Amino acid sequence: MGTLSLRRRLRERGIDAVTLLVLPGVVFVLALFVYPFLYGLVLSFTPREGGWLANYQKFFSDPFLYDTIWLTLQIAVPVTLLNTVLSVPVALRVRLMKRQRLLTAILVIPITLGTVMVAEGLLTYLGPRGWLNRFLLELGVANSPVRLVHNYWGVMLSLVINGFPFTFLLTLSYVTGIDPALEQAGAMLGARARARFFRILLPLLAPGLAITLALAFVQAFTVFPSAVLLGAPAGPTRVISIVAYQAAFEQYDYPLASAIAMLMALVQVIIIVALLGARTLVFRGPASTGKG
């Protein structure tokens, strides 16, 4: 009787045998995502030597370490803005296309290939004997091969190749969620293309763009394989994930590595909160057709 009423009370709150099916998923994510993260947080405050803040003091007193935040932002911020700004007009065009699928399928290739493959591809393609330099030399634009790999530009270009399709496809999914009738109404009332974009489309697109920027930024901020393979990992592309990796797997200083990982997460959270906060400032109520 007691168990029956307990069961009934639970069921009234929506908990029964079916609800318990969430447990495998929840337990898994708790065990392999939340627990390691909290473990890393605690570990970062238990340095191998010194007080509880020693890892963070070490990071912020060594320019070789703290400069990586600035270096990474110098790569991640421009490429995020470039990819997103390019994505909007392209997505607005492609939206009107009848046969989008071939183009979207081609653009999904670099995402599928992944950063390592794109890095190797660009090493061959952009290298001194690659097709791009061949083209520039034949054209007479350059007298000697342009150096595009093993420096800042190599990493930048790899982030464009991997990142532009991502921001484009995400923007496209938001753009197609906007009811075309709204833009037609604007056109009928005499708004030119420019006015329709700035007064109608952009405000409706703003929430989606904030999310696109946030996702594109965190991806670019954690650039790793291409910064090693295509960049100058000892110099201008010594990004924060490289020092975190080196602390963990070359110096075996897991507490310091955890501290760097936590700082990486912190920078990402700050940027995301700022972007999503800006989103609520410009958000003017739902007008999309539910797809975005």
Partner 1 sequence: MHRSLREKLWAIAVWSVVVFFVVNLLAMIGSVVVNSFGTRWFNTWLPAGFTPQWYTMAWAEFHLPDILVVTAEVVGAVVVLSGLIGVPTAYAMARRNFPGKPAVMLLFLLPLLVPPITYGIPMATVLYQAHLAGSIWGVILANLVPTVPFVILIMIPFVEQIDPRVEAAARVFGAGLWRLFTQVLVPLLTPGILAALLLVLVRTIAMFELTFLTAGPTSQTLVVALYYAVFAAGVRPGQSIDAMAVVYMVTTLVWLLIALQFVNPTQIVTRAKQ
Contacts of partner 1 in 124-163 (CB under 8 A): 124-125, 129-132, 134, 161
Of 1 and 263, CB closest to partner 1: 263
CB 155 within 8 A of CB 72: no
CB of 200 to partner 1, least distance (A): 15
Q: In whole angstroms, give the CA distance from residue 83 to residue 167.
A: 6
Least distance (Å) from partner 1 to the CB of residue 4? 19
Complex with partner 1: residue 103 or 182, whichever CB lies closer: 103
Calculate the CA 273 to chain-centre distance.
Answer: 14
Q: Is 288 helix (H, G, I), strand (E, B) or coil?
A: strand
Q: Which amino acid is at 138?
A: E
Specify the residue, 1 or 243, whose C-beta has the smaller distance to partner 1: 243
Site for partner 1 contains 237 (CB under 8 A): no
Residue placing its CB nearer to partner 1 in the complex, 1 or 140: 140
**Among the candidate windows 10-18, 52-60, 61-69, 282-290, which touches partner 1 by CB under 8 A?**
10-18
What does the DSSP 8-state code read for residue 200? Answer: I
Longest dimension (CA), the chain: 90
Least separation, in Å, of the C-beta of 5 and partner 1? 18
Shortest distance (Å) from residue 284 CB to partner 1: 18
69, 149, 261, 271: which one contacts partner 1 (CB under 8 A)?
Answer: 261
Which of the residues 96 through 115 are near partner 1 (CB under 8 A)?
Answer: 101, 103-115
33-92 binders of partner 1 (CB under 8 A): 33-37, 39-41, 43, 86, 89-90
CB 149 within 8 A of CB 126: yes
Nearer to partner 1 by Cβ, of 169 and 232: the residue is 169
3-state secondary structure of 220: helix
Give the CA radius of gyration of the chain.
24
Can you tell me which of 7, 9, 28, 289 binds partner 1, judged by CB under 8 A? 28
CB atoms within 10 A of CB 201: 18
Q: Which residues pair with 178 in a beta bridge?
A: 288
Q: Is 99 exposed, middle or buried (0-12, 13-18, 19+ CB in 10 A)?
A: exposed
| CA nearest neighbour of 166 among 119, 98, 216 | 216
Piece in contact with partner 1 (CB under 8 A), picked from 50-58, 64-72, 262-270, 279-287: 262-270
Binding piece for partner 1, criterion CB under 8 A, among 16-24, 50-58, 65-73, 281-289:
16-24
Per DSSP, the three-state class of 77 is helix
For the CB of residue 147, give the shortest distance to partner 1 in the complex, in Å: 17
Least distance between partner 1 and beta carbon 215 (Å): 7
Return the closest-CA partner of residue 255 out of 58, 55, 59, 69. Answer: 55
Q: What is the footprint of partner 1 within residues 183-202 (CB under 8 A)? A: 187, 193
Among 6, 15, 195, 282, interactor with partner 1 by CB under 8 A: 15
Site for partner 1 (CB under 8 A): how many residues?
94
Q: Specify whether the CB–CB gap between 241 and 257 falls below 8 A.
A: no
